[in-house]
């Protein structure tokens, strides 16, 4: 009989958790993770309270680099959108390699086209699944 050898270097996924909030007054807090390898959004598990308005979003990520799209909107309408390149490490730490603040409060800080081209392409490919993406679309 031939058995597959056990490899001790198989990487285990690391559970990464982010705040989730969607209130009836319009507040939103969410983080969407996109794979650099596939350019697609990583599947997550959403755990919410009974009302469904508060909770956490969990990802099982292998050690690698990812793109994180973070959004926050207060009940008063102040919007904060950032894009980060994060590195998930084998020791379960997450390091931010680069970060861009796209929108703060009531004004856009930088244009989508000011980001690196590969990041713009990944965001536009997934725009239908990115919350509040319409805030950062370039007026072209």
What is the CATH classification number for the domain harbouring 62? Answer: 2.60.40
Per-residue pLDDT tens for 64-88?
Answer: 999 999 999 999 999 999 999 999 9
Ranges under pLDDT 50 in the chain: 1-2, 4-8, 140
pTM for the whole thing? 0.88
Domain extent for 101: 14-135
Q: Look at strands 14-22 and 107-108 and give their pairing.
A: unpaired
User: By C-alpha distance, which of 117, 92, 35, 38 is closest to 69?
Assistant: 35
Looking at residue 76, what DSSP letter applies?
Answer: T
Q: Cα 72 from chain centroid?
A: 12
Tokens of 67: 């793109």
Lateral strand order in the sheet of 28-35: 45-48, 54-61, 14-22, 28-35, 64-73, 79-88, 94-105, 107-108
Residue in 52, 34, 53, 54 with CA at minimum distance from that of residue 44: 34
Task: Say if strands 14-22 and 54-61 run parallel, antiparallel, or are unpaired.
Answer: antiparallel
Specify if 2 maps to a domain.
no
Partners of 20 in the β-ladder: 55
State the total domains in the chain: 1
Residue of 119, 114, 117, 118 lying closest to 103 (CA atoms):
114
Q: Residue 52: what pLDDT?
A: 85
- Is 8 a member of any domain? no
Q: What is the model's pLDDT at position 6?
A: 47
The reply to whether 87 falls in a domain is yes
Cα distance between residue 82 and residue 101, in whole Å: 4
102 in any annotated domain: yes
């Amino acid at each position: 009989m031939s058995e597959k050898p056990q490899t001790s270097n198989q990487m285990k996924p690391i559970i990464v958790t982010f705040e989730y909030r969607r209130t009836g007054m319009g507040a939103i807090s969410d983080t969407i993770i996109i794979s650099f390898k596939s350019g697609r959004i990583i599947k997550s598990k959403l755990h919410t309270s009974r009302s469904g308005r508060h909770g956490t979003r969990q990802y099982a990520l292998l050690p690698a680099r990812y793109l994180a799209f973070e959004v926050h909107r207060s009940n008063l309408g102040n919007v904060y959108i950032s894009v980060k390149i994060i590195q998930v490490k084998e020791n379960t730490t997450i390091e931010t390699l680069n970060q861009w603040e796209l929108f703060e409060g009531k004004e856009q800080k930088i244009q989508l086209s000011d980001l690196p081209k590969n990041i713009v392409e990944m965001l536009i490919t997934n725009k239908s699944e990115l919350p509040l993406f319409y805030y950062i679309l370039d007026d072209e």
